[in-house]
Amino acid sequence: MKRIFETSVAGRAFGAAALSVALLSGANGAGAAEIKIGVLYPISGGGAIYGGPAMQGHDLAVDEINAAGGVLGMKFVTAARDSKLNPAAAAAAAKELITKEGVNVLLGGLASSVGLAISEVARQEGVIYIATIPKTIKLTTTKLHPYVFRTASNTDFEGDAMAQIVKKVDGKKLCDIQLDYAYGHDLGDGIAKALPKHAPNANIVIKLRPKLGATDFNAYITQIMGSGCDTVVSGLWGNHFVNFAKQAAPFGFFGNHVYITGGEIASHEVASKLAGDYPDNVWSNTYELWYHSPTDAHKKFQARLAKKADTEATAMWPVLAYNGVMLYKAAVEKAGSTDADKVSKALEGLTIDTPMGKLTMDAKSHQANTGQFWGPMKKVAGKPYRVMDPITFVPPPE
Amino acid sequence: MPPIEGKTMSMLANPTFLFYQFMNSISLGMNIFIIAAGLSLILGVLRVINFAHGAFFMVGAYVCWSTVTYLDGATGSFWLGVAAAAVVLGVVAFVIERGLLHYLYGREHLTQLLFTFAIVLVVGDLAKMIWGTDQYNVPYPHGLSGAVNFGFALYPAYPLLLCAIGVVVAVGMWLVLSKTRWGRIIRAATQDREMLSALGMNVPLVYTGVFVIGSALAGLGGALAAPRVAVSPGMDATIIIECFIVVIIGGLGSLWGSFLGALALGFVTMFGTVIFPDWELVLAYVLMLGILLWRPWGLFGVSEEESH
């Protein structure tokens, strides 16, 4: 609430100037003194661990854009809503943002099911939606429409990278454990599709589908142990992984299985929180690592973010939200308007510089070429928790 | 997603697998029982459906984490954290009962329901202000991070200990309820509070005591669960539903009902997940519905006709 209030005061101060610019340039949504961004991240309940840091990245981007004078002479104003991990709540919030707040664009989402729900609202209402975190492949395939774009990675990219690691660790008998909702199902499909290509000798011997939000994984742990597989492929993210690992470790589970997982279990926040309880033999991914700055752009971004977050060891999520805002800004600039159809056209094929390198939005699939860091999580002398070593950047497959 | 049937069946014929699943069922059941016992006690005596029980469970886990972190993970710090969780929740419950809930006993159930739901939201937000939205990790207590060797299989030590604690809590509560004067008063309060009051008992004091003890059990349960799960916002959501299922199966205010209900839920969850993976979520409710149709007052509850 506080943020909305502050920005609306700022908005009023710039109102007159922005209004005249808007009228002069004939910007669509004429009379709009500002560009209103509807942003949806989970900021309560179990998803708040990710939504909070994502909002930091979002705010950082908006602050930087406004400090540089805004876009087409208009300031960015944020209207934030809690998407929870609940598609129905997120859809209602997205509708409200469009009809009551009159936002020009929707950004965010976290859970894949939530991303699909927001996308559906965007389609009906003809408003641009940039999915910054949801990874279900359906968002940019079967459920694709002109107004949805994704800057996150997707389940096909992730499954492909995991199949490459199966090959690398010479996995033969695989257990596939995924959460029973859009993301888990689609990641399972993504792995199954990529295995024949990268690791034709590997076979999935059992598929397990615990529920989203499950806390007790013992029944699944014993099934994996009973199935005789040498490698586990998984997409249990966040707390699901923490709970699974804590319950599996006393069985000696991680001594007998290589655990290859999507869901950004290599992120600093999971590794630092689990610290000494982070298990052996885990290969995972992350979008960003604060301790790994291969480029100058990343170093600078990291410094600005560290200042905002008041810690050097920043989370992985802010960069995703940040890139989403920056992509939208570039599209509005290119389109010379906030009109959804014009911005949609502008987004197709658009390339921007991000802290992680060049980001290009594919004109056909509406999917950005976002890669991830992948690698084994190792104990390294001098580090209080596990770090990825070696760090390999895996670009999206051709 | 259909399971790989042959695999499941061959696993069920594997004695080691069955042993694991058997132990998993009991440890899950005992885990839930410790928390549900408090809810059942409060429901039986106060006749208040305390939605905030799950929030108390979450705060118990946070308090345990804070204690362990404050003491830098020293040996024994976990057990101090468990004790601290029970004490803190006892105090919180005392304040809530004396300060607020106390004035609502005469009101209709809906008001009380809304009140405890409000407590859920307030406690949830307070927890967020105190502990933030980060997830925290409570390591296993010293000496309990490994497994116990049964000769034919290993089983993790900590869940085994939880089973033992569950039994100790059950027997302890049973002894207090059946052998002591306070226990008799509490039992009398579940049966007929007007009569108890007419006999000159200080019923409000009984209510306060029961609410404090029941809530302390939620805190205790949260602290004991902490090493096995990520301590984070939202961890209260599933546990409260499981507790209600247990209480409904067992019968309002029945200790052994909750004990059996919790075990039943443990077995249905663990074996249901393996045999009917698609129906995992539904099975617990099917169990509850079945019991409700057969004995609406629960396994060990007393029907309205019998009680009058």
Q: Where in chain A are the domains?
A: 2-153+295-367, 156-286+373-394
Work out how many CB contacts closer than 8 A connect A with B.
Answer: 128
**pLDDT-derived band at B12, boundaries 50, 70, 90:** confident
Residue appearing with tokens 């004091």: B205
CB contact under 8 A, A218 and B135: no
Specify whether the CB–CB gap between A358 and A351 falls below 8 A: yes
In a domain, B68, yes or no: yes
Q: Residue A149 to residues A98, A187, A397, B14, B108: CA-CA distances in angstroms?
A: 17, 19, 18, 49, 51
For the cut 50, the answer to whether the pLDDT of residue B1 exceeds it is no
CB contact under 8 A, B154 and A206: no
Cα separation, B220 vs B87, whole angstroms? 9
Specify whether the CB–CB gap between A151 and A132 falls below 8 A: yes
Shortest distance between the Cα of A185 and any Cα of chain B, in A, equals 9
Can you give the pLDDT at residue B8?
65
Can you give the pLDDT at residue B280?
76
**pLDDT-derived band at B224, boundaries 50, 70, 90:** very high
Query: Which residue from A47, A207, A222 is facing B24, i.e. has the nearest CB?
Result: A222
Shortest distance between the Cα of B27 and any Cα of chain A, in A, equals 10
When pLDDT is averaged across residues B51-69 and rounded to a whole number, the result is: 96
How many domains does chain B divide into? Answer: 1
Which comes out higher in pLDDT, residue B275 or A105? A105
Tell me what ipTM this predicted complex has: 0.85
Which tens digits make up the pLDDT trace of B141-200? Answer: 988 988 998 888 889 999 999 999 999 999 999 999 899 998 988 888 877 878 888 888
Residue A114 neighbours by CB distance under 10 Å: 32
In a domain, B73, yes or no: yes
For the cut 70, the answer to whether the pLDDT of residue A282 exceeds it is yes
Which tens digits make up the pLDDT trace of A155-206? Answer: 999 999 999 999 999 999 999 999 999 999 999 999 999 999 999 999 999 9
Which tens digits make up the pLDDT trace of A345-358? Answer: 999 999 999 998 89
CB contact under 8 A, A243 and B228: yes
CB contact under 8 A, A273 and B140: no
CB contact under 8 A, A246 and B228: yes
Which tens digits make up the pLDDT trace of A90-107? Answer: 999 999 999 999 999 999
CB contact under 8 A, A206 and B4: yes
Which site among A185, A216, A278 would you substitute to test the B interface, given the most B Cβ atoms closer than 10 Å to its Cβ?
A216
In a domain, B5, yes or no: no
CATH second-level architecture of A2-153+295-367?
3-Layer(aba) Sandwich (3.40)
Residues of B in contact with A48 (CB under 8 A): 128, 133, 233-234
Identify the H or E element spanning A352. Answer: strand A351-354
In a domain, B273, yes or no: no
Say whether A156-286+373-394 and A2-153+295-367 share the same fold: yes
Cα separation, A22 vs A33, whole angstroms? 7
Can you give the pLDDT at residue B160?
94
**pLDDT-derived band at A17, boundaries 50, 70, 90:** very low
In a domain, B12, yes or no: no
Can you give the pLDDT at residue B169?
94
Average pLDDT, chain B: 89
Residue A350 neighbours by CB distance under 10 Å: 21
Is any Cβ of chain B less than 8 angstroms from the Cβ of A211?
Answer: yes
For B3, nearest residue in chain A (alpha carbons)? A207
Query: What is A156-286+373-394's CATH topology?
Result: Rossmann fold (3.40.50)
Can you give the pLDDT at residue B199?
85
CB contact under 8 A, A239 and B21: no
Can you give the pLDDT at residue B44?
85
Low-confidence winner among A288-297, B83-92, B193-202 (lowest mean pLDDT): B193-202
Can you give the pLDDT at residue A26?
40
Is any Cβ of chain A less than 8 angstroms from the Cβ of B134?
Answer: yes
Can you give the pLDDT at residue A336?
94
In a domain, B250, yes or no: no
- Touching A: B residues 255-284, CB under 8 Å: 269-271, 273-274, 277, 280-281
For A207, nearest residue in chain B (alpha carbons)? B3
Shortest distance between the Cα of A278 and any Cα of chain B, in A, equals 10
Can you give the pLDDT at residue B117?
93
Query: Which residue from B28, B133, B237 is facing A49, i.e. has the nearest CB?
Result: B133
Low-confidence winner among A30-44, B46-60, B62-76 (lowest mean pLDDT): A30-44
In a domain, B292, yes or no: no
When pLDDT is averaged across residues A207-221 and rounded to a whole number, the result is: 91
In a domain, B128, yes or no: yes
Is any Cβ of chain A less than 8 angstroms from the Cβ of B3?
Answer: yes
Specify whether the CB–CB gap between A185 and A157 falls below 8 A: no
- Touching A: B residues 36-95, CB under 8 Å: none
Rg (CA), chain B: 20
Q: Residue A36 to residues A58, A104, B87: CA-CA distances in angstroms?
A: 13, 5, 48
Locate all alpha helices (DSSP H) within chain A, ordered by sequence: 2-13, 15-25, 48-67, 87-99, 112-125, 155-168, 182-198, 218-227, 238-248, 253-256, 268-274, 296-309, 318-335, 340-347
Query: Which residue from A185, A210, A239 is facing B232, i.e. has the nearest CB?
Result: A239
Domain limits for position B166 = 30-233
Which site among A204, A212, A218 would you substitute to test the B interface, given the most B Cβ atoms closer than 10 Å to its Cβ?
A218
